[in-house]
């Protein structure tokens, strides 16, 4: 989907990836962004976690080479209980996942735990205003304003939280960018 490709490229740019970075993508979907990040972090490691078995299978195919050379590691799991040690990742990203978080505060504290000091988090999302015009079930999707996302990240402990916007068709793209002190 083009919208996801545009958002993934925006996230990738905002991450400012470096060759040695250890990066985590939460909710990697088909694994395309994982693959792109692995092309940049050639002396680092790209990991991914997703709760969908179907996406895990698809991402394994897309990232076959990276997985075989041990530069990409992916697994099934949930953001509220990440199977990584404290301060493991230089950079963490997630795209279009926050709507599914049962408890966003818990999930963002868990993300904060695994980011190294000085590390960065980039969260790609659709705003509450954008989502109100979509046929989505309130039972499944939680919508957030830009301020909501910013507050969640600040409350989790992140600093220098800002919302970046980029014009795109059919909808503008939004990413929250935050750092860990």
User: What span, in angstroms and rounded, lies between the C-alpha atoms of 177 and 160?
Assistant: 8
pLDDT computed for residue 41 by the predictor? 98
Q: What angle do CA 120, 123, 127 make, to 5 degrees?
A: 150
The yes-or-no verdict on residue 110 having pLDDT over 80 is yes
pLDDT computed for residue 4 by the predictor? 84
CATH fold of 2-179, please?
Rossmann fold (3.40.50)
The yes-or-no verdict on residue 108 having pLDDT over 70 is yes
pLDDT computed for residue 137 by the predictor? 63
The yes-or-no verdict on residue 90 having pLDDT over 90 is yes
pLDDT per residue over 146-166, tens digit each?
Answer: 999 999 999 999 999 999 999
pLDDT computed for residue 162 by the predictor? 98
pLDDT per residue over 130-148, tens digit each?
Answer: 877 776 666 667 889 999 9
Pair of tokens at residue 176: 């929250």
The domain locations on the chain are 2-179
The burial class, CB within 10 Å (0-12 / 13-18 / 19+), for 171 is middle
Tokens 């868990």 correspond to what residue? 110
Average pLDDT, the chain: 94
Candidates 176, 156, 24; CA nearest to 85 is: 24
pLDDT per residue over 26-59, tens digit each?
Answer: 999 999 999 999 999 999 999 999 999 999 999 9
pTM as predicted? 0.94
Candidates 49, 26, 23, 27; CA nearest to 36 is: 23
| For range 59-82, the mean pLDDT | 97
What are the φ and ψ backbone dihedral angles of 15, each rounded to 5 degrees? -65, -25
| For range 53-79, the mean pLDDT | 97
| For range 75-91, the mean pLDDT | 96
pLDDT computed for residue 139 by the predictor? 65
């Amino acid at each position: 989907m083009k919208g996801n490709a545009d958002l993934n490229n925006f996230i990738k740019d905002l991450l400012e990836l470096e060759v040695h970075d250890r990066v985590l993508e939460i909710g990697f979907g088909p694994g395309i962004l994982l693959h792109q990040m692995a092309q940049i972090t050639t002396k680092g490691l790209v990991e991914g976690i997703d709760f969908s078995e179907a996406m895990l299978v698809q991402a394994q195919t897309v990232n076959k080479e990276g997985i075989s050379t041990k530069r990409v590691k992916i697994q099934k799991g949930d953001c509220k209980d990440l199977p990584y040690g404290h301060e493991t990742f230089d950079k963490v990203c997630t795209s279009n996942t926050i709507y599914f978080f049962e408890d966003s505060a818990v999930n963002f504290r868990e993300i904060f735990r695994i980011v190294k000091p000085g590390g960065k988090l980039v969260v790609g999302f659709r705003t509450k205003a954008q989502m109100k015009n979509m046929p989505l079930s309130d039972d499944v999707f939680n919508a957030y304003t830009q301020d909501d996302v910013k507050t969640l990240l600040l409350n989790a402990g992140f600093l220098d939280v800002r919302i970046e916007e980029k014009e795109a068709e059919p909808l503008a793209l939004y990413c929250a960018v935050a750092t860990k002190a």
